[in-house]
Chains A and B, each alone.
Chain A
Amino acid sequence: MTTVPKFDQVKVGDELKPLVLPPVSRHQLALYCGGSGDHNPIHVDLDFAKKFGFKDVFAHGMLSMAFLGRLVTSYAPNNQVRKLGTRFTSITWVGDVITVSGKVTGKREENGEKLIDLEVKCTNQNGQDTLQGQATVAAA
Chain B
Amino acid sequence: MELDKKLIGHTFKPFTTTVEAGKIRLFCKAVGEEDPIYSDEAAAKAAGYRGITAPLTFLRALQADDPNKGGLLRLLNVDIGLILHGEQHFEYFAPVVVGDKVTCQEKVVDIYDKKGGALWFVVQEMEMKDQTGKLVAKGKGVTVVRNPDASKK
Q: Enumerate chain A interface residues (CB-CB to B < 8 A).
A: 1-2, 21-22, 28, 31-32, 34-38, 40-42, 48-49, 51-52, 60-63, 65-70, 72-73, 77-79, 81-88
Q: Enumerate chain B interface residues (CB-CB to A < 8 A).
A: 23, 26-33, 35, 37, 47-49, 53, 55-57, 60-61, 63-65, 69, 79-92, 94-95, 140
The distance in angstroms between the C-alpha atoms of A41 and B57, with both chains bound, is 20
A-B contact pairs, 26 of them (CB 8 A): A1-B47, A28-B30, A31-B26, A35-B61, A36-B30, A37-B65, A38-B61, A40-B80, A41-B80, A41-B81, A60-B85, A61-B84, A61-B85, A62-B88, A65-B88, A66-B56, A69-B55, A77-B47, A79-B53, A79-B94, A83-B92, A84-B90, A85-B90, A86-B88, A88-B85, A88-B86
The distance in angstroms between the C-alpha atoms of A2 and B81, with both chains bound, is 39
Q: Please state if A70 and B33 are interface contacts (CB–CB under 8 Å).
A: yes
The distance in angstroms between the C-alpha atoms of A36 and B55, with both chains bound, is 11
Q: How far is the CB of B65 from chain A (nearest CB, A)?
A: 6
Closest Cβ neighbor of B28 among chain A residues: A35
Q: Please state if B84 and A35 are interface contacts (CB–CB under 8 Å).
A: no
Q: A38-B64, A88-B84 are in contact. Are A66 and B31 (CB under 8 A)?
A: yes
Q: Which residues does chain A contribute within 8 Å of B32, judged by CB atoms?
A: 21-22, 67, 70
Q: Which residues does chain B contribute within 8 Å of A85, judged by CB atoms?
A: 87-90, 140
Q: Which residues does chain A contribute within 8 Å of B89, judged by CB atoms?
A: 83-86
The distance in angstroms between the C-alpha atoms of A35 and B28, with both chains bound, is 8
Q: How far is the CB of A131 from chain B (nearest CB, A)?
A: 9
Closest Cβ neighbor of B85 among chain A residues: A61
Using A32-B31, A38-B61, A85-B90 as known contacts, list a sample of 20 further A-B pairs with CB atoms less than 8 Å apart, ordered by residue number in A.
A1-B37, A1-B47, A31-B26, A34-B30, A35-B27, A35-B28, A36-B27, A37-B69, A52-B81, A61-B88, A62-B85, A66-B55, A66-B56, A66-B57, A69-B31, A70-B31, A70-B32, A79-B48, A86-B87, A86-B89
